Amino acid sequence: MNDFSLATREPRPKPQQSSIAKRDERKDVDGWGATVFTDGVISLSSEVEDSSDNGAGLMLPQGSEQEIDTNVELTLTINTGTKKFTRKAIVRWVDNSGGDIRFGVQYVENIDLTPETHQLNVEEIRVDPAVAMRIPAAIAVRRKILPFVEINGVVHVACCDTKNATVLNSIERMLKAPICTWEVDSKKLETLLKEVYGNDAGQLALPMSAQDKKKKEDDNKGNEAVDLAEDLLYAAFVRQASDIHVDPTAKGARIRFRVDGELETYQEIKVDSYVELSSRLKVIAGLDIAEKRAPQDGRFSHQFSGGNQQVDIRAATIPTKYGERLTMRLLGAQSDDLTLDRLGFIEYHQQMIEQFLNRIQGMMVLTGPTGSGKTTTLYVAMTKLLRSRSVNIMTVEDPIEYEIVGAAQCEIDSNSDKISFNSALRSILRHDPDVVMVGEIRDKETADIAIKAALTGHMVLSTLHTNSAVATITRMVDMGVAPYLVAAALRVVIAQRLLRRLCGYCRISRPLTELEAISLERADLVGELIYEPAGCVYCGDKGYKGRIGLYELLEIRTEWAKAVSEGARESDLLAMMEADGIQSLLDDGVSKLLNGDTSYSEVLQIASSW
């Protein structure tokens, strides 16, 4: 056990420190705060005086009535000013001599997630491409070894033979960091290695002559930009990023990925590399590389070398102070395993949606901000329709994000006036569709055509940008659609948001505080058990893995249709919604919070948006 006694609180100089000693090294910190949760007391505010990877020194101000005893287990959430993290800890020492209560805690490792006690499932881990690419692909595939994440300076490695010291020592030298080995299933690891490194990575290279080596070096000089772009796109694909941001700076560029809705830095590159990368990405996106003073948009499909993975990518550039900023949206293949249940719909909401999908006419509108998962929900609904009955589905989208087998998908041409939402929608109605999907209702004309299609025997699915379900109704009326037409055509409105899903392997429980309960407008929930992110090998030390949807579902029944046709205001509809006991976005968020699906900080985003 590490020494966390009061006698060792002052750091002692050592000539050399091992990686374990460095983790125990305490550093004074300033401006850090902590919330401490103990049995019988929901929370205490504390100041953090020093910290290490394995523990912290805290102080309760003078006059605190709460007593802290040694060898007591507690939960604490530490706020560094830039991030928050939650840990289980044990009190190792207490000092009351100076008036203030000072005490030291040692973090409790999750004993269920160690190589000695846990069988790692490589199908569920998230691979950090920056770590995986630190060893040659050929060695990784041939030796069946995959470095997949670095946590507190230790690289975690999945392998089939944890007793081969020769190979592991060699890998440790390549990584230039201590390693923690996890023995995993051989077949599952082989599959993952092919996904990360490609099918051709394991092929042995033949010896080259001096002349061949010289020729290869010359070729590589011209291929640096190609390789950099390939590595960047593949790293984003492996990391399951939705967007890539290349931000030029005075010294080069910062590359960031958006993963689960959050931006994370992937790499910093120099000016020369940035210029080459920018030109290469503009070439493959079909953009004008000579034009650097005007925004440009493009799109391309990229086939990764050495594998059969392909991804569609939207690219956009805009001039900034230090050069062109590039943003790329990765449009991955739609998973056939995606269902309403996996998206986060409760059973009652699933029944309402399925009931609508059994109709032959009517309109369902999904609403929410950009990136809230509206299109994914529509695609799942259309896939469900195609599996349940024979229908002619036609879509008009900008752009086509996922390919749906069995549906005729039409893409808007934003660079010309030949195909617009209005013209495409008019044409689609002449092709005998059963189901029409309109990517987005942007104006009165599109809204009118969609409404009339829903009234003339077609099922219409579409999206709109509003904050809530009832706001969708008033927005369509504000667009100029007659209230009686909205009431007659609209049948289901779904407002949705996406929150990060807690990692099921490392989440930590704690009670909800009084202030937090009030912030959620649920004072009755004080003391209820909720969960916080911690971080482990499965989630890449993030504490979150994937996202889950929050939903507000409104079904336009007879009394609602009557109110809408009579011109009810948004406040009137909200009162009806509350009277009918219809669950709001915040209600769904609180439900998922108590269920352990997400954290308080994620749900608070919904509460603070009203």
Give the pair of three-digit tokens for residue 100.
């203030």
Q: What is the pLDDT of residues 140-199, one digit of tens each?
A: 999 999 999 999 899 999 999 999 999 999 999 999 999 999 999 999 999 999 888 875
Cα separation, 337 vs 383, in Å, equals 10
- For residue 502, count other CB atoms closer than 10 A to its CB: 27
Q: Enter the pTM of the model.
A: 0.85
Q: What does the chain come to in residues?
A: 610
Instruction: Check if the beta carbon of residue 217 is closer than 8 Å to that of residue 165.
Output: no
Give φ, ψ of 244 to 5 degrees: -120, 130
Give first-to-last CA distance, the chain, whole Å: 49
| DSSP state letter for 541 | T
Residue 53, pLDDT score:
82
Bridge partners of 460? 363, 436
Contacts of residue 290, defined as CB under 8 A and 6 or more positions apart, other chains included, come to none
CA gap 483, 589 in Å, rounded = 31
Distance CA 263, CA 241 (A): 9
Q: Tell me which residue of 270, 273, 224, 278 sits closest to 249, measured CA to CA.
A: 270
Q: How far from the centroid of its chain's Cα atoms is residue 520's Cα?
A: 23
Whether 92 contacts 82, CB under 8 Å: no
Q: What is the pLDDT of residue 207?
A: 43
- Tokens 């929050």 -> residue: 550
Specify burial of residue 495 (Cβ count, 10 A radius: 0-12, 13-18, 19+): buried
Q: Which two tokens stand for residue 418?
A: 């030949």
Closest CA to 331 of 300, 290, 285, 355: 300
CB-based burial of residue 512 (10 Å sphere; 0-12 exposed, 13-18 middle, 19+ buried)? buried
Indicate left, alpha or beta for 99 from its phi (over 0: left) and psi (-120 to 50: alpha): left
Tell me if 145 sits within 8 A of 134, measured CB to CB: no
* Core vs surface per residue 270-294: b (16+ CB within 10 A) or e: eeebbbbbbebbbbbbebeeeeeee
Residues 6+ apart with CB under 8 A from 571: none
Torsion angles phi and psi, residue 168, rounded to 5: -65, -40
pLDDT value of residue 26:
79
Whole-number pLDDT of residue 33: 92
Map residue 158 onto helix, strand or coil: strand
**What DSSP letter does each residue of 299-314 carry, written as one string?**
EEEEEPTTS--EEEEE
Containing H/E element for 263?
strand 262-270
**Kind and range of the H or E run holding 462:** strand 459-464
**Non-local CB neighbours of 557 within 8 Å, separated by 6+ positions:** none
Nearest to 174 by CA among 217, 145, 208: 145
Q: What one-character DSSP code corresponds to residue 372?
A: S
CA-to-CA distance for 452 and 445, rounded, in angstroms? 11
DSSP string, 465-479: --SSHHHHHHHHHHH
Nearest 5°: CA angle at 446, between 440 and 449?
A: 125
DSSP structural state of residue 524: G
Residue 75: strand pairing partners: 37, 88
Is residue 277 a contact partner of residue 223, using CB atoms and an 8 Å limit?
no
DSSP secondary structure code for residue 362 in this structure: E
CA distance 599 to 607: 13
| Rama region for 544: left / alpha / beta (φ>0; ψ in -120 to 50; rest) | beta
**CB count, 10 Å around CB of 186?**
12
φ and ψ at 122, to 5 degrees?
A: -70, -15
Q: Block means of pLDDT (10 residues each) for the chain, length 610 residues? A: 55 46 73 86 85 90 78 90 87 87 87 82 92 92 94 93 92 94 94 80 44 49 78 90 95 95 92 94 93 91 70 92 95 70 92 95 95 91 92 91 89 76 90 95 93 95 94 95 96 96 93 91 93 92 92 95 94 94 94 96 81
User: What domains sit in the chain, N to C, each tagged with a CATH number?
Assistant: 6-107 (2.40.10.220), 129-197 (3.30.300.160), 213-331 (3.30.450.90), 340-498+548-582 (3.40.50.300)
